[in-house]
Amino acid sequence: MPEFTSVDCAHMARALELAERGQFSAHPNPMVGCVIVNGDDIVGEGWHELAGAEHAEINALRAAGDRAASASVYVTLEPCAHHGKTPPCTEALIEAGVGRVIAAMQDPHDKVAGKGLKMLSDAGIVTELGLMGSAAEALNAGFISRMTRNRPFVRVKVAASIDGATAMANGESQWITGSAARADVQRLRARSGAIMTGIGTVLGDDPSLNVRGEDIDTRGLQPLRVVLDSRLRMPASARMLTLPGRTLLCCTAGQDDRELVEAGAEVSAFSADDERVDVAAVLEDLADREVNDVLVEAGPGLSGYLLANDLVDELVIYQAPHIMGSDTRRMFDTPSWTALAQRRDLEIRDVSQVGDDTRITATIRD
């Protein structure tokens, strides 16, 4: 394990900050940031903004120009060594004559992990790995999930009262949380390659499930809307079909999809799990479609199904300072849990105040 100085840490922290600028637009590529330092001077900064556009390293090298020679390069992800939509970054770094490359983490893809650093090392460049690695991994949890598990990172968002209600029993739920929390959800959406919901939510609320918000620049990207609709009950008049961006309906085999395809939907049939679309199969399909992050905004049925089937990677709970009482819907329908031992333990990752509401971000403990 190489030893890093506080100066190294500061440069990598800056590179992570730059990487995050791509949060709304870089996917399906990972967010990457790069800082080039010559002596005490930062001579170049770059980040990856958009799939097909230059990688972070290239942008930083361009800014550094001749001053990249012998410089130290801090990059949040191992530089690529292969020809993709753009030429390999390793070649550009070697050509620029940099002296040292510090990567926060390896390429998550097993088959290429380490190849980029090895190529640099073979060219006589000092390489170091692991500086602020866990922060870099957290930043690209979705990309890593897709690369290593062939499944997107599944983030379930819930808006609830402090007593755990998500709607009145009659479905009334506008609005439980405040405008700041709803604006925050727009940012969650913009970070996601897909937004998933169930047909019940579509039939009940006719949601848009698109990214709105003037302060969010997705460079025109809209997440794929995914509706789990086993028996294809989606009305062709659903609002989301009229909006920019694509809508994927996931049904079981043998459904009549003509009218919906006509209305602009994509329809895919999946294997069934107890007459419902097998969600694990849908997630695999979404990974094949290069979706890194799925945001689930659904009712207690789908959210509970995902939780009970260990398909949730992260919960984001917006908790409103209200008591809604008992004639209400729950966060998660879990009909098979009858004993306390079946509960899920959460690891709380973050608690933040968002307007009047509290946002709790948590993962599920094994």
Binding of a copy of itself by 317 (CB under 8 A): yes
CB of 363 to a copy of itself, least distance (A): 11
Which is closer to a copy of itself, CB of 179 or CB of 242? Answer: 179
* Strand duo 224-228 + 194-198: pairing: parallel
Residue by residue, DSSP assigns 268-320 as: EEE-EETTEE-HHHHHHHHHHTT--EEEE---HHHHHHHHHTT--SEEEEEEE
Residues 11-50 as x/- pattern, contact with a copy of itself by CB under 8 A = ----------------------------------------
Please name the amino acid found at residue 318.
Answer: Y
Burial class (CB in 10 A: 0-12, 13-18, 19+), 343: exposed
Residues 243-282 as x/- pattern, contact with a copy of itself by CB under 8 A = ----------------------------------------
Residues 72-111 as x/- pattern, contact with a copy of itself by CB under 8 A = ----------------------------------------
Instruction: Find how far residue 291's CA is from the centre of its chain.
Output: 8
Which is closer to a copy of itself, CB of 248 or CB of 320? Answer: 320
Binding of a copy of itself by 221 (CB under 8 A): no
Which is closer to a copy of itself, CB of 49 or CB of 357? Answer: 357
Q: Considering all CA atoms of the chain, what is the largest pairwise distance in Å, rounded to the nearest integer?
A: 69
Q: Using the rule CB under 8 A, which residue among 160, 194, 277, 298 binds a copy of itself?
A: 160
Give the CA angle between residues 350, 24, 234 to the nearest 5°: 95
Tell me whether residue 57 is one of the annotated catalytic residues: yes
Which is closer to a copy of itself, CB of 1 or CB of 340? Answer: 340
| 341-344 contact pairs (CB < 8 A, 24+) | 344/307
Other beta carbons within 10 angstroms of residue 220's beta carbon come to 9
Q: Which of 45, 54, 57, 128 is catalytic?
A: 57
* Strand duo 247-252 + 266-270: pairing: parallel
Binding of a copy of itself by 4 (CB under 8 A): no
Interface with a copy of itself (CB under 8 A):
160-165, 168-170, 172-174, 176, 300, 304, 307-308, 315, 317, 321-328, 330-335, 337-340, 342-348, 351, 358, 360, 362
Active site residue ranges? 57
